[in-house]
Amino acid sequence: MNTYKAPLADIRFALYDVLDSEALFARLGFADASRELVDAILDESARFTETVIAPLNRVGDEHGCTLDKATGRVTTPPGFREAYQQFAENGWAGLVSPTEYGGQGLPHTAGVPVKEMIDAANLAWGNFPLLSHGATEALLHHGEDWQKEAFLKPIIEGRWTGTMCLTEPHCGSDLGLLKTRAVPNGDGTYSITGTKIFITAGDHDFTDNIIHLVLARLPDAPAGSKGISMFIVPKVKVNADGSLGEPNAVQCGALEHKMGIHASATCVMNFDGAVGTLIGQPHKGLMAMFTMMNTARLAVGLQGLGLSDRAYQNALRYARDRLQMRALSGAKFPDKAADPIIVHPDVRRMLLTQKALIEGGRLLGYHAASLIDVAIHDPDAEARKRADDLIGFLTPIVKACLTEWSIECTYHAQQCFGGHGYIQEWGMEQLARDARITTLYEGTTGIQALDLMGRKIMQQQGAGLRVFLGMIGEFCTTHADDASLAEFIGPLREIAQEWQALTMQIGQRAMGDADELGAAAWDYLFYSGYAALAYWWARAVAAADASSHPQSLKNAKRETARFYFTRLLPRTRTHAAAIASGAAPLMALDADAFD
């Protein structure tokens, strides 16, 4: 009933027409990443996600994962393991990983649509390869050569998967509180002891081994977040020749029962003197973790995008099929018993909101992913620096906005179905339940807002914002005389000016009172998201007009942009007013007086 069709046309529009990925890949030296190759990857990814993993989405929700308490072994729902084997055999696991470790070495910009399709097709399934990706990043950037050889290669080849073991019962956002201990064994290894919770893919039946990246404290560690180190702890010990040895003392103790993503194994992991090795410097584990986390945050943003798109597709089909009432302006289909509900303005409002947030959000997310390639491969050091600043700035925006918009999009999509949206059979409610995790894990929306405001704006003095405002300025200047874009350029200039002014205001207020940062953060993040989307929608119209696509596509981009500018961008009015009101309305009430 609930289906998925990869939005290949819009994905190609984003890559080729707006982001100009062909020229980008040439500049960055990805000689092999021709348009033909990328197209073939997109086609094959569409086939795999539509026909192999999308049909398992409901099965996964109904079955969930099961745990054998005696052995700590997790069994995934029927079909999940086989789908992963296809995925691994076809080389998807290492799509964007370096060729020297067995990856395919493709740009992240080409990997990101594949990620979107996987998440749209089956979010819970997609969490297993996703977590490997975080481990890959940490091993790539912080692992010693032997660690890369022993652990990274099998992960990239898809033979093993990875996890990120951060959270403990008493510490989620505040990792400084963590208690898991690592005691040196004298042979260069450590004994890890402690309990980690919310460990996605902590155990499963996809692969023979799982590589846990675990935050823990050394005996001499300072208190707080500066005393945390990262360790590699394999589920099964690995012999010197790479073969599997004895089981390690780490086991899944329980599976969480969750609102959604039932097929994603959310494990309590018990480390009972498990043997691990240090990765990176002692007490510098948080830095290694941030490497994993930035990638993971962008990835979770894409999960939001994928879910939104799947929900929208199904809502759109329903809105075209469902006959109910006549258009207020007179029957549009007088030969039918009633008009399809897509004639009603309020149904169009819900659909266009989704369309504008999804297609705009796709540009926002893909662009951020493309910056990873620029930051690594651009021949110009200045360009690499700019990209790096911009990634840092955009990561919390992409993570928070694309996930919060997925809450909104799945909400509207469900609403389009009326009461049927509440019935499991239609599959819309699962999308809403699955989406609900995305604003919680990898840092809640509030944590993203603090990261943006505190770290990316204040500590880094708005370096990333300046780069983005520069992009806007350049675009507006280039198209200053383009009458057909004037309706977008004017408001975009205004919003960019206000964005800058608001940033300054907050900065000044924060010098007097640090709570001003926290009080502005959430509204500032969404203000930024809507401002960024205004830029991308203006770019989309310009790119469509400049393309050889049929007039219908040009019209659709223009009308959706108009909807965005008139109906969604005004949300910045509310956010700006909230920011202007400062911290006092939030801080005045005594904690005892909230009842």
Active site residue ranges: 442
Dihedral (C-alpha) 563, 569, 573, 574: value to the nearest 10 degrees? 90
Nearer to its own copies, 171 or 463 (CB): 171
CA distance 573 to 578: 9
Smallest distance, Å, CB 167 to its own copies?
7
> Whose CA is closest to 296, among 98, 138, 160, 117?
138
- Stretch touching its own copies by CB under 8 A, among 37-45, 64-72, 379-387, 445-453: 445-453
Of the candidate residues 440, 460, 463, 549, the single one contacting its own copies (CB under 8 A): 440
Q: Which of residues 52-111 bind its own copies (CB under 8 A)?
A: none
CA distance 372 to 189: 33
Nearer to its own copies, 132 or 572 (CB): 572
Q: Which of residues 212-271 bind its own copies (CB under 8 A)?
A: 256-260
State the binding string over 374-403 for its own copies (x if CB under 8 A, else -).
------------------------------
Nearer to its own copies, 274 or 541 (CB): 541
CA distance 486 to 480: 7
- Stretch touching its own copies by CB under 8 A, among 213-221, 239-247, 517-525, 539-547: 517-525
CA distances in angstroms from 282 to 163, 189, 228, 232, 432, listed in the order given: 20, 13, 8, 13, 41
Nearer to its own copies, 154 or 443 (CB): 443
Of the candidate residues 308, 439, 503, 528, the single one contacting its own copies (CB under 8 A): 439
Number of residues that bind its own copies (CB under 8 A): 101
Smallest distance, Å, CB 570 to its own copies?
4
Does residue 168 belong to the site contacting its own copies (CB under 8 A)? Answer: no
Of the candidate residues 20, 144, 205, 515, the single one contacting its own copies (CB under 8 A): 515
Burial 75-98 (b: 16+ CB within 10 A, else e): bbbebbeebbeebbeeebbbbbbb
- Stretch touching its own copies by CB under 8 A, among 122-130, 297-305, 533-541, 558-566: 558-566
Tokens for 570, please give them: 């005004």
Which residue do the tokens 């994993």 mark?
292
Does residue 427 belong to the site contacting its own copies (CB under 8 A)? Answer: no
The amino acid that residue 146 corresponds to is W
Other CB atoms within a 10 A radius of the CB of residue 243 amount to 8
Smallest distance, Å, CB 484 to its own copies?
16
Tell me if residue 156 falls in helix, strand or coil: helix
Nearer to its own copies, 141 or 179 (CB): 179
The amino acid that residue 520 corresponds to is A
CA distance 532 to 405: 14
> Whose CA is closest to 137, among 28, 45, 228, 211?
211
- Stretch touching its own copies by CB under 8 A, among 131-139, 150-158, 172-180, 382-390: 172-180
Q: Note the helical H segments in 455-567.
A: 463-478, 486-512, 515-546, 551-563
Smallest distance, Å, CB 108 to its own copies?
27
Residues 119/302, Cβ–Cβ less than 8 Å: yes
Tell me if residue 110 falls in helix, strand or coil: helix
Nearer to its own copies, 338 or 376 (CB): 338
Of the candidate residues 407, 413, 495, 543, the single one contacting its own copies (CB under 8 A): 407
Which residue do the tokens 């505190």 mark?
454
CA distance 446 to 427: 29
Q: Which of residues 455-514 bind its own copies (CB under 8 A)?
A: 513-514
- Stretch touching its own copies by CB under 8 A, among 91-99, 275-283, 411-419, 485-493: 411-419
Residues 251/267, Cβ–Cβ less than 8 Å: no
Kindly write down the DSSP assignment for every residue of 535-594, as one continuous string: HHHHHHHHHHHHS-S-HHHHHHHHHHHHHIIIIITTHHHHHHHHHHT-SHHHHSS-GGG-
Other CB atoms within a 10 A radius of the CB of residue 442 amount to 27
Smallest distance, Å, CB 443 to its own copies?
9
Nearer to its own copies, 21 or 264 (CB): 264
Does residue 594 belong to the site contacting its own copies (CB under 8 A)? Answer: yes
Q: Which of residues 293-352 bind its own copies (CB under 8 A)?
A: 316, 320, 323-325, 327-330, 337-338, 340, 342-352
- Stretch touching its own copies by CB under 8 A, among 228-236, 462-470, 472-480, 548-556: 548-556
State the binding string over 562-591 for its own copies (x if CB under 8 A, else -).
xx--xx--xx-xx--xx--x-xxxxxxxxx
Which residue do the tokens 């009080």 mark?
519
Residues 271/421, Cβ–Cβ less than 8 Å: no
Q: Which of residues 27-56 bind its own copies (CB under 8 A)?
A: none
User: Is the CA virtual torsion 70, 73, 74, 75 positive or negative?
Assistant: negative
- Stretch touching its own copies by CB under 8 A, among 45-53, 85-93, 446-454, 467-475: 446-454
Of the candidate residues 13, 441, 526, 527, the single one contacting its own copies (CB under 8 A): 441
Nearer to its own copies, 140 or 458 (CB): 458
